[in-house]
Structure 1
Amino acid sequence: MTETVTAEQKNTVMLAFQVIPRLRDGNNFEVVDKAIDVVKASGLPFQVGAMETTIKGELDRLLDIVKQAEKACLEAGAVEVITNIKIHTTTPEAHDTFCTYTRGVTPANKMFIDS
């Protein structure tokens, strides 16, 4: 049996998100670490930066990870969480364009950690 691959499955999706938890007491960074733990447990390629975490995968799964990350913040004591999300979708046809996100990425500055 041959599987049909849709155009959406051929696309590369990168999602960057930032959680900003607010706590009554405690350390915000420890709560943010709980969100990062969710990303690490996903098994998807990711990069943690100073202002956001970027993950690569299928859009619905990426959005589920963000929901889980928010939930982890709330479970860790946040009384509210602001989440900023950026989504970049690239089709196979985009890889010959000037605007490709991966332009300039070389093996020496590999962007993602493969978990």
Structure 2
Amino acid sequence: MLAEIQVSPRPGGNAENPYAHIEAAIAVIENAGLVYEVGAMGTTIEGTPEQVWTLLRAVHEATLKAGAAGVTSHIKVGQGADDDGPSIIDLVGKFRA
């Protein structure tokens, strides 16, 4: 299963680090042990449906735990009927230098 999440916390961070709340969300992804790719407008995650759905919630909630007053998460999910859909590298590999 693939998912892309873009968190939009309010605010994005604090005076010392304007992206602190977003970085807290990315840290949860990094610590999950799944294949992922951070992009400029969101992060793509690859894993089983159980892993991905659990992680999406944890990423969303991480911004609040980091001190954001609120958050909106934009999520796209793709899954094959047999859970054997394409991987991140299948979809973008040929476009990499």
Task: Report the Cα distance in structure 2 between the residues aligned to 1:24 and 1:42, rounded to whole angstroms.
Answer: 22
Higher RCO (CA 8 Å, separation ≥ 6 residues): 2
Taking structure 2 as the reference length, the TM-score comes to 0.78
Residue of 55, 61, 65 corresponding to 2:45: 55
Between Structure 1 and Structure 2, how many residues are aligned? 92
- 1:46 is matched with which residue? 36
Q: Give me the identity figure in percent.
A: 28
Deviation at 1:60? 2.1
Structure 2 residue runs of 5 or longer lacking an equivalent are: none
- 1:18 is matched with which residue? 6
> Aligned letter for 2:11?
L
Structure 1 residue runs of 5 or longer lacking an equivalent are: 1-12, 96-100, 111-115
Task: Report the Cα distance in structure 1 between the residues aligned to 2:85 and 2:90, rounded to whole angstroms.
Answer: 10
Task: State the superposition RMSD in angstroms.
Answer: 2.9
Residue of 81, 90, 95 corresponding to 1:102: 90
Check conservation: 1:22, 1:28, Cα contact below 8 A.
Answer: no
Check conservation: 2:8, 2:72, Cα contact below 8 A.
Answer: yes
Question: Which 4+ runs in 1 deviate beyond 2 A?
Answer: 90-95, 101-106
- 2:57 is matched with which residue? 67
Q: 1:53 to 1:103 in 2, by over 3 A?
A: closer
